[in-house]
Every structure is written in C-alpha cells, then in structure tokens.
Homo-oligomer: A and B are copies of this chain.
C-alpha cells in the first residue's frame, strides 16, 4: 500500500539550520526564540517541530553540521606531503576566509558545551579528530625527515589547538583583530617549533636564566 516515495517537497532542514545559524549568531541560543527562527526561515513556529523535536535538538543539529564540515577539511589535509602548506591552507580557510560571525557562534557553542553533555560530546569528538589529524600529518612529515625526533608531536598538537582557540576568541571579540597578520605569525611560530628551533618540553636552564 504505502510506497517508499521520494519526498514530495523540499527537505526544509538545511533551510531551517541556516535560519537558526543567523539567529543564534545574532542573539545567542537563549535569546533566540523559536518564533525568531521560524520567521527567518519563512515559516510558522509550529512547523519547526516537524523537523526538529525541540530547540535543543535544533542547536545540536547545527553543531553537528559544523562538525561534519571540519571533519571534511581534515580528511583533505592528510593528502599532500606538504606539511606547512597544509597548515597554511587550514589556517586560511578557518581563520581568514570565514566571517567573524562564525567565530561568534563558536563562542556560543563553547559556553553551551559547558553544560550540555550532548554538545560537549560532539565537541570532544571534533577535538580528538583534529588532534589525531595533526599528529598523523606530522608523523608523515617526520618519516620524510622534515621533523627532528626530539620534537614532541603531542605537545605540538596541543599547542596548535590552544592557538586556534585563542584565535577564535580574539577574532570574535577584538575589534582590531587582523586575521592575516595573526595567522601568518602563528604559522611561523609553529614552523619554528616543528623545525626543532625551540623545544616545548623544558630546556630549563636558558629559560630560568632570563
């Protein structure tokens, strides 16, 4: 009787998520009403519930969409053997190309993750994936002899994560933040660390002497 039929109408989910992204960026999760999202999506509030079971589900779906995007970027990263080129590409894509609004939304997600375990879990997943991606691509470079043995790749990965997060916060909130300059500086720094020009694990004597 009931045939598996192709959806008669458009799938409204992407459209709703786009609307939600605008609203959440503009007003934050909690100041955004379902009425706002519906208005932005060109429909009526009740109808949102056909696609997302609750406001929380909507938030979560939005975050998961971002996650998928990041994951895709990292899949592409492993390909080439050009380590710094890969980092430069990623840096460009994530900190220069993307508008400030994305950074603002990320801040929102962070503050939400501190309380919503579902969001925390998604974020943890991204984090782990990015970290593994960084280490993997570095290890490939090490096999080619580009990275000295004494460089602690795990520490490098943590450093990059820290720098990335710091950049996001500054991009979102510092009025005179200059993406290009900042990214260039930090790529430079990372390059130097990977070269072994400085070690992340203490070479205490020199430092203490300062």
| A interface, CB within 8 angstroms of B | 26-31, 83-84, 104, 107-108, 110-115, 120, 123-124, 127, 141, 146, 155, 158-159, 161-170, 172-175, 182, 184-189, 191-195, 197-203, 206-208, 210
Say how many copies of this protein the assembly contains: 2
Residues on B with beta carbons closer than 8 Å to the beta carbon of A155: 185
| Chain B: CB-nearest residue to A160 | B166
CA distance A60 to B120 in the complex (A): 27
Q: What's the least CB distance linking A198 to chain B, in Å?
A: 4
Residues on B with beta carbons closer than 8 Å to the beta carbon of A203: 188
Contact of A165 among B28, B120, B165, B187 (CB under 8 A): B165
CA distance A104 to B192 in the complex (A): 32
Contact B159 A189 (CB under 8 A): yes
* Nearest 10 Cβ contacts at the A-B interface: A162-B166, A30-B30, A166-B166, A192-B198, A191-B207, A165-B166, A111-B111, A165-B169, A107-B111, A84-B210
**10 additional contacts, CB 8 Å, given A84-B210, A191-B207?**
A28-B112, A84-B207, A113-B173, A127-B174, A163-B166, A166-B167, A188-B207, A189-B198, A192-B206, A198-B198
Residues on B with beta carbons closer than 8 Å to the beta carbon of A29: 30
Contact A194 B167 (CB under 8 A): no
Contact B210 A83 (CB under 8 A): yes
| Chain B: CB-nearest residue to A178 | B158
